[in-house]
Homo-oligomer: A and B are copies of this chain.
Amino acid sequence: MPELLDKVAPRGVELGELARLLPARLIGDPARRVHTLASLADAGPEAVSLFQDKRYEAAFAATRAGAVIVPERFAGGHPSASLLLCADPNAAFSSLVERFCPPPPPPPTGHDPRAAIDPRARVHASAAVGPFAVVQAEAEIGAGAVLYPGVVVGEGASVGAGAVLFPGVVLYPGAQVGERCVLHSGVVLGADGFGFDWRGRSWVKVPQRGGVELGPDCEVGANTTIDRARFGVTRIGRGVKIDNQVMVGHNASIGDHSLICGQAGVAGSALLEPGVVLGAQSGVGGHVRLVSGVRLGGQSGANHSLETPGDWLGFPARPYAEALRRMAAPQQVERLKAKLRDLEQRLERLERAGGAAPEGAP
């Protein structure tokens, strides 16, 4: 995208002006012009980049970027790049992204005549309904909500004001989506929970008659599924952010402002208190409770309740420091073996000596 900033500012932007916008302290030529944003590795002299994570020290040293946004207390320098020192480099870069990157196209408006809207549904006049979307009886779509093409809103389901459902989202009957929620493509809310009892010859379905509710301001990633409850409600709190391909089981409860990374799974009736973080591909067992402030690492598994805030890792999940010790155990086994061999040899020597032990030997 060498022409990225040029879409907005065809002749580029002077670093002096960027420094005023961010704001940032500039070390370099204020008249120098930049035209785009890029990562340290991809950037050329026409690009602004970002450096604040030490893992990228080598990339920073080698970058050809025209300018780099760095932390305020940054002490180093750079052979070719100008530096823009900011209190919050990440936020500064985000503001550049927002200011200069082309925004996504505006959402559709109006009720497309090719949508199938049941006459008994209540769709706000200001809501948008795309082609081939389906809104069934007694469903309710709030003011300014957007249903992209192919969305299905089941009977009696509700979509809060300002919520956005990307193409192909499915709400089963009765599912409730809070205001300003964003549901990405392929999200399924309210499919039956997974409950079967073995009755001698076959699995018999445990009826799944509860609901599913998302609080306001949630974002749910593509192809994530959140099941309806057996009875009562599967509840996602307010401001919860869920990544792609996450699975939340029936009757689970996810506390406000929790963060769930990609491909994680939360089994039935699990309870996450507010402010829990689940790493990618992690799992939380059925009926397990995680207290506020628990951060479960990637690929880890909480098969029992975690009652102490902080970082947990591994399967079964342990406090971070303990988990690292556990991971180091195999190497210690090698060292123990060597040590044991040494002790044994010394012991054998003593035994041989003792066997020949003359008078007076202790």
Contact = CB atoms under 8 A, between A and B. Distances in A.
A354 B348 CA distance: 13
This chain: copies in complex: 3
A7 B308 CA distance: 42
A78 B152 CA distance: 46
A290 interface: no
A287 B152 contact: no
A52 interface: no
A219 interface: yes
Contacts of A257: 202-203
Interface of A: 1, 4, 37-39, 42, 53, 55-56, 90-91, 94, 97-98, 101-105, 112, 114, 116, 130-132, 134, 136-137, 148-150, 152, 154-156, 166-168, 170, 172-174, 182, 184-186, 188, 191-192, 194, 196-197, 202-203, 205-207, 209-211, 217, 219, 221-223, 225, 227, 230-233, 239, 241, 243-245, 247, 249, 251, 257, 259, 261-263, 265, 267, 269, 280-281, 283, 285, 287, 298-299, 301, 303, 315-316, 325-327, 329-334, 336-337, 339-340, 343-344, 346-347, 349-362
Given A150-B150, A166-B191, 17 more contacts: A4-B231, A97-B207, A98-B207, A101-B209, A103-B209, A105-B137, A170-B186, A191-B244, A194-B241, A194-B243, A194-B244, A194-B261, A203-B259, A227-B244, A340-B340, A346-B347, A358-B360
